[in-house]
Amino acid sequence: MKILLVLMLAIGGGLMATETMATGADTAEQACAPALDFEMRRLASDEAVRLCDEYQGKVVLMVNTASKCGFTGQYEGLEALYDKYGERGLVVLGFPSNDFANQEPGSEEKIQEFCRLTYSVEFPMFEKSHVKKGKASPLFQYLAEQTGVYPKWNFYKYLINREGQVVQVFSSMTNPKSGKMVKVIESLL
């Protein structure tokens, strides 16, 4: 009789634990930070990624990029940040845009090839996106609503902390290697 009672308690406890674990997983899915609650397609791919599933809990630097811009050399600094701080939780996400002076006119395949061959870019790159006020993609509209700043040119950088809050925006003029930017990133890691 004692064995039967112990067995019933064990099974009941196991069911309760399973129910709690399932509820916990549902809660984690619902807790996606709004800044990451977007589905984007990887550059030159059909693969769609929910940013929250990939980058929740990381420090995220989102950048609108272009291949034919005076600031294009910033790819080097962005890749250096990604390489240096990636293991500590920083991820750089690139979003090519042709919104400014036709400086990203190529196909996604050409953009990917340029980034890899010219700057050895390994950080995740996503589909060509509109970022300008009035025609911004939902992601960049959200970033602008949170900061009050739409990109005014290529290589605007939006920094998101581990809690998913947009904490700072850096203009094109701020080089990724600048002490100012590095200091803020290090404080979040």
Residues recognised as catalytic:
69
Instruction: Round to whole Å and give the CA distance between 146 and 62.
Output: 14
Nearest 10 degrees: Cα torsion 56, 61, 67, 69:
160
* β-pair type (157-160, 166-170): antiparallel
Written as six digits, the tokens of 34 are 């709004």
How does 107-142 read in b/e, with b if 16+ C-beta sit within 10 Å? ebeebbebbeeebebebbbbbbbbbbeeebbebbbb
